[in-house]
Structures are given as structure tokens and as C-alpha cells.
């Protein structure tokens, strides 16, 4: 059960083209937003669709795969862990963010002919 302590698995579509940077050690860092969609019927029987947005970060080879093979709208499956951090924005306000640091990615788009 230890492997389940902080594990996230999602399937969704990229909401933006990946932002990729090269770190000082030569390794790559990628950041994307991932939309997951859910549908259900409410008490009135109406179909309701909900979209949740997730901040995704990747390092090294995983970041390189995201950079090379994905773009806005790409469907991917990811596995990783939740990470929370804080930073100070340009106005001096302390901000908090939760991201999913992924260690595996599966490309789910159909191959183009």
C-alpha cells in the first residue's frame, strides 16, 4: 500500500502547448495544463459536463517526450504525485500552487495517416 500514498493517474487533453525550459544541468523541464472531463445526470435528468484543470510538470526524459510529441489538444494519460509549493509573485504576494509531478506519460492520440 505504500505505493498508493501519493499517486495520481489522469487521462485528459492538454489545454496549451507545452512550456519547455532547459535547466542549468542540461535537463529539460516541461509545464502544461491538463483538462479532465466528467459527465453525469443531475436530479432533473439533465446531462452535466464538468471540466477540471490540473497543473502538470515533468522533468528529464518525460519532459522531452511531452515537448516532442504533444501539443494543445493532445490526449495523454499521466501518472505521478501531488506536489504543493509556494512562491512570491511580481507584486510581492505569496502564492500557493498544487501541481502533479509526472513520471510516466502515455500518448493516446491516434496516429496521423
pLDDT at 53: 97
Residue 79 belongs to a domain: yes
Domain count, the chain: 1
- Tens digits of residue pLDDT in 27-60: 999 999 999 999 999 999 999 999 999 999 999 9
Do the beta carbons of residue 35 and residue 13 sit within 8 Å? yes
Q: Is 2 helix (H, G, I), strand (E, B) or coil?
A: helix
Average pLDDT on 60-86 reads 96
pLDDT for position 88: 94
What proportion of the chain, given as a percentage, has pLDDT over 90? 91
- CATH number at 83 reads 2.40.50.140
Q: What is the pTM of this model?
A: 0.83
Average pLDDT over residues 62-77: 96
Distance of alpha carbon 56 from alpha carbon 45, whole angstroms: 34
- Residue 16, in any domain of the structure: yes
Phi, psi of 84 (to 5 degrees): -115, 145
Q: DSSP letter string over 14-76?
A: ESSPPEEEE-TTS-EEEEEEEEEEEEEE-TTS-EEEEEEEEEEEEEHHHHHHHHHH--TT-EE
Which structural domain range is residue 40 located in?
2-107
Cell, residue 31: 509545464
Which pLDDT belongs to residue 42? 92
What are the b/e assignments for 96-109, b being 16+ CB within 10 Å? eeebbbbeebeeee
- Say if 113 falls within a structural domain: no
* Residue 111's pLDDT band (cuts 50, 70, 90): confident
Amino acid at each position: 500500500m505504500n505505493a498508493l500514498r501519493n499517486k495520481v493517474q489522469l487521462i485528459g487533453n492538454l489545454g496549451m502547448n507545452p512550456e519547455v525550459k532547459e535547466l542549468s544541468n542540461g535537463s529539460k523541464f516541461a509545464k502544461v495544463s491538463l483538462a479532465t472531463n466528467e459527465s453525469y445526470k443531475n436530479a432533473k435528468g439533465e446531462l452535466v459536463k464538468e471540466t477540471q484543470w490540473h497543473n502538470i510538470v515533468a522533468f528529464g526524459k518525460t519532459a522531452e517526450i511531452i515537448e516532442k510529441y504533444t501539443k494543445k489538444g493532445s490526449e495523454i494519460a499521466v501518472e505521478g504525485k501531488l506536489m504543493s509549493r509556494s512562491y512570491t509573485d511580481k507584486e510581492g504576494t505569496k502564492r500557493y500552487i498544487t501541481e502533479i509531478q509526472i513520471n510516466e506519460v502515455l500518448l493516446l492520440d491516434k496516429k496521423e495517416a
